[in-house]
Amino acid sequence: MNASVLVPLPVVLPLFGAGLALALGRSARAQRVVSVVVLSLVVVIAAVLLARADADGPQVMHVGGWPRRSASRWSPTGCPR
C-alpha cells in the first residue's frame, strides 16, 4: 500500500466520525463506540505514517492536479524566491 493514501486519513476520519456521532443522536453508548474506534484508527495510522517517515522521509500527497514544484524554488517562508 502506498503511504500517500494514508496521509489525509488523520484529518478525514475524525470529521466522518464526528458526523456519524452527530447522526446517532441521543445514543451516548454508540457515540462513545464511534469515538473510540475513530481514535484508535487515527493512532494506528499516525504510527504507520511515523514509521514510514522514519524509513522513507516525509510523506506527502499531491492533490488538485497541479504540477509538482521543485523545493529549491521556494523559500522557508513559503514565498517564491
What tens digit of pLDDT does each residue of 41-69 get?
A: 999 999 999 999 898 888 887 777 777 66
pLDDT at 41 (0 to 100) = 96
pLDDT at 14 (0 to 100) = 96
pLDDT at 72 (0 to 100) = 57
CA distance linking residue 80 with residue 8, whole number of Å: 26
CA distance linking residue 21 with residue 61, whole number of Å: 28
Q: Where are the domains of the chain?
A: 3-73
Query: Any residues with CB less than 8 A from the CB of 52 and at least 6 apart, and which?
Result: 3, 6, 59
Of 4 and 40, the one with more pLDDT? 40
